[in-house]
Structure 1
Amino acid sequence: MIRKVITIGIVSLILTGCMSESISTLETKPVSLTQKDEPSEEFIPKSLKLVALGDSLTKGVGDESDQGGYVGRVTDMLEEEKEIKEVHVDNFGIRGHKTTNLQKRLKEENVVQALKQADVIVITIGGNDIMNVVRQNIFSLDFEPFRKEQLNFERRLEDIFATIRAHNSNAPIIFVGLYNPFKYMLPNLPEIDQIIEEWNSVSKQMIKSDENSVFVPVDDIFSSQSDQKLLYKDEFHPNESGYTLMADRIYQAMTNEDITKKFVGRNE
């Protein structure tokens, strides 16, 4: 009987030792956890800061659909891009503004701060400069006053670009060209088409010197002889259809330059 008890005890000790060794082995067995790679930054949608400068076209005057003119439409198209989470817009367009007004506007602190943070800058300016020449010479319109003012326009535009670049050297500038708003108001002045072409040429040459700037022509859109009405009832500003075509052209220029991929800004 004693031998049986001793035998049982020895077996129990052996089993307990085996279990302890097994448990000890399980407890000390190294565990390898594979950490998942963080998604590449290029696949994280980002916010884009768009600053719009200029005149009534940037303001969206004539757009009765309340879509914000070309700025609102371009914003909507940009937000469809998979790389873009949202677009923050600062629209500083003011009806009636000329290059002289824009020069002053660029000194305002809120505009300066917006420019410093901008990922993309869009500008329409110059239409009211031409309109001013027309008003001052309505009874004796010829090339001379337009070409004289063109030199002033060129100097002011150069100053505008220099000021913008002083605040932001990297953001692409999308400069929207002029179109002839007098085609229907003053149909007997075909010379205006040539004036528009010459003023646009000035802008194009200036933009060529800046590798991050793009000139977007729109004069052909509004010179079309199609039956589709593209101007607002004032026969000067675009209507909804006109702004849609402008926005398509501007967005296409951005796409061609890969602006949404190269210059999308901050994570939030």
Structure 2
Amino acid sequence: MFRKLTSIVVLCLLVTGCMADHTSNVSSKSLTKLEKEQPAETFIPKTLHVVAIGDSLTKGVGDETNQGGYIGKLINQMDERKEIKDIVLNNYGIKGHKTSNLQKKLKENQVVNHLKKADLIFVTIGGNDLMNVVKKNIFSLDYGPFREGQKTYENNLKDIINTIRENNTEANIVLIGLYNPFKYMLPELSEIDTIISEWNTASQQIINHDGHSVFVSVEDIFTTTDEILLSDDQFHPNRKGYELIADRVLEELENEQVITAIP
């Protein structure tokens, strides 16, 4: 059983900060290059269709510059590549979304239509599933409820991947893993690291089984530096945190040659 929390009030505030945003407007934009390095005459740049789905990290909550969090940074980075003519982004990130919420979101006609056209699908999900377990066991945290919650999370994530594949068999799905937001505020809760690693391992196994997807681990980003990477709410990344996530995602896309493989 975990040691008793030393900062229950702080944790309650963090839980409150993860409450859902009930707005469901999609953010869409097209980014077109004005100037590019001149490629070979036989080279034809692509128009890249990108769909971002999930929770507050996809929405960019915590980014004090309001530049769209990791997805905004990532789109700007990809837009510099000579093989990309322009990028059409549809962002369905909603604060507070759990896997169960995303399952419902993927049934909406507008989302389905964009999924069918997508070349790349970025996903952040699971943080609020984890927080839901914390809320229900705030005064008596132990491993049991987290592992029960993990089973539900895994089943929901499998269903999410299957739903995406029902609408698009070719797009690369990129799932960004979980990180420990309590690392700085409640360092005595070292067991949370174990829980998050277990959830991330399960996520990676599901993504690997799909065979046409990429799992991006980011938990080490928030544990290997003394630099402040969280926003004032001590839960979501700040601008720098999102930048590091975007850099990691782009690195994985390049390692897996995802962009160059898009027909």
* TM-score bucket (shorter structure): 0.7 to 0.9
Letter in 1 for 2:145: P
Task: Name the SS for the 2:210 alignment partner.
Answer: coil
TM-superposed deviation, 1:187: 2.5
- The answer to whether structure 1 residue 240 and structure 2 residue 232 are counterparts is no
1:157 is matched with 157
Q: Distance in 1 between matches of 2:256 and 2:147?
A: 32
Letter in 2 for 1:172: N
Q: Distance in 1 between matches of 2:167 and 2:249?
A: 23
TM-superposed deviation, 1:228: 1.0
Q: Distance in 2 between matches of 1:124 and 1:92?
A: 11
TM-superposed deviation, 1:62: 0.4
- The answer to whether structure 1 residue 125 and structure 2 residue 121 are counterparts is no
1:70 is matched with 70
Letter in 1 for 2:142: D
1:262 is matched with 261
1:112 is matched with 112
Instruction: Considering fraction of residues, name the structure with more helix.
Output: 1
Q: Distance in 2 between matches of 1:165 and 1:253?
A: 21
Q: Distance in 2 between matches of 1:234 and 1:186?
A: 14
1:81 is matched with 81
* Deviations 1:153-182 (CA, angstroms, capped at 9, x unpaired): 111011000000000000000110000112
Q: Distance in 2 between matches of 1:208 and 1:119?
A: 18
TM-superposed deviation, 1:260: 1.5
- The answer to whether structure 1 residue 253 and structure 2 residue 252 are counterparts is yes
Letter in 1 for 2:244: L
Task: Name the SS for the 2:230 alignment partner.
Answer: coil
Q: Distance in 2 between matches of 1:186 and 1:108?
A: 39
* Deviations 1:201-247 (CA, angstroms, capped at 9, x unpaired): 111111111221011000000112x3310000111000000000000
Q: Distance in 2 between matches of 1:227 and 1:219?
A: 14
Q: Distance in 2 between matches of 1:83 and 1:57?
A: 27
* Deviations 1:66-104 (CA, angstroms, capped at 9, x unpaired): 211000111001110001011110000000000000000
How many residue pairs are counted as aligned between the two chains? Answer: 224
Task: Name the SS for the 1:89 alignment partner.
Answer: strand
TM-superposed deviation, 1:257: 1.5
Task: Name the SS for the 1:209 alignment partner.
Answer: helix
TM-superposed deviation, 1:262: 1.2
Q: Distance in 2 between matches of 1:219 and 1:124?
A: 13
Task: Name the SS for the 1:92 alignment partner.
Answer: strand
1:157-236 matches, within 5 Å, as: 157-224=157-224, 226-236=225-235
Task: Name the SS for the 2:52 alignment partner.
Answer: strand
Unaligned runs of 5+ in 2: 1-39
Unaligned runs of 5+ in 1: 1-37
Q: TM-score, normalised by structure 2?
A: 0.83
The structure having more radius of gyration, on CA atoms, is 1
Letter in 2 for 1:167: N
Structure 1 stretches of at least 4 aligned residues deviating more than 6 Å after TM superposition? none
TM-superposed deviation, 1:184: 2.7
Identity of aligned residues (%): 57
Q: Distance in 2 between matches of 1:46 and 1:150?
A: 39
1:44 is matched with 44
Letter in 2 for 1:103: Q
Q: Distance in 2 between matches of 1:191 and 1:121?
A: 32
Q: TM-score, normalised by structure 1?
A: 0.82
Q: Distance in 1 between matches of 2:125 and 2:88?
A: 22
